Amino acid sequence: MNIGEAAARSGVPAKTIRYYEDIALIDSADRTANGYRSYSEDDVHTLRFVARARGLGFTVAQCRDLLALYRDRDRSSADVKAIAESHMSEIDDKIAGLRAMRETLAVLTRKCHGDERPDCPIIEELATGKAAGKRAK
């Protein structure tokens, strides 16, 4: 099947498929006599695998590792679990960072009068890194 059909069947855009081939995340497709890419059912399955992994936020490097483990019938599930647990830890760190950002914004928006006056603790924080009303120690 051509790249358009592989894209439609896998849910991965053709441009992304080409990118995955360029970075050797997936094997380059076979070429027909006229030079067009030709994909198999196995290729579509691999693309779906990568799409699901990317949908869970795994990095390209992690996807590469997961694909290698998927292809290795002698793999240890502990290796797969370690990748997933590491990724969950990264997600937890991102969530904590987002919560801290949100709290900072919540404090700043509570301090901002939101009226016609020019003074604004949000702008002050962005400009100086010091929220209006805070005193240097």
Mark which of 35, 60, 75 sits at the end of a domain. 75
Are residue 45 and residue 85 in the same domain, yes or no? no
User: What is the three-class DSSP state of 112?
Assistant: coil
Dihedral sign for Cα 3, 7, 13, 16, please: negative
How far apart are the two ends of the chain, measured CA to CA in Å?
67
Same-domain check for residues 91 and 108: yes
64 in the same domain as 45: yes
Q: In this predicted structure, what is the pLDDT of residue 136?
A: 47
The residue segments making up the domain with residue 90 are 77-137
**Average pLDDT for runs of 10 along the chain of length 137:** 96 97 93 91 97 97 97 96 98 98 95 91 89 51
Domain check: are 66 and 133 in the same one?
no
Are 61 and 96 members of one domain? no
Are 83 and 57 contained in the same domain? no
pTM, 2 dp? 0.78
Q: Are residues 64 and 43 in the same domain?
A: yes
d(CA 24, CA 16): 12
Q: How many domains does the chain have?
A: 2
Tell me the CATH number at 62. Answer: 1.10.1660.10
Identify the pLDDT of residue 130. 74
58, 75, 92: which is the final residue of a domain?
75
User: Do 56 and 20 belong to one domain?
Assistant: yes
DSSP state of 28: P
pLDDT at 131: 59
How far, CA to CA in Å, does 57 sit from each of 3, 20, 61, 63, 114?
24, 16, 11, 10, 37
The H or E element that residue 96 is part of is: helix 77-111
Are 83 and 70 in the same domain?
Answer: no
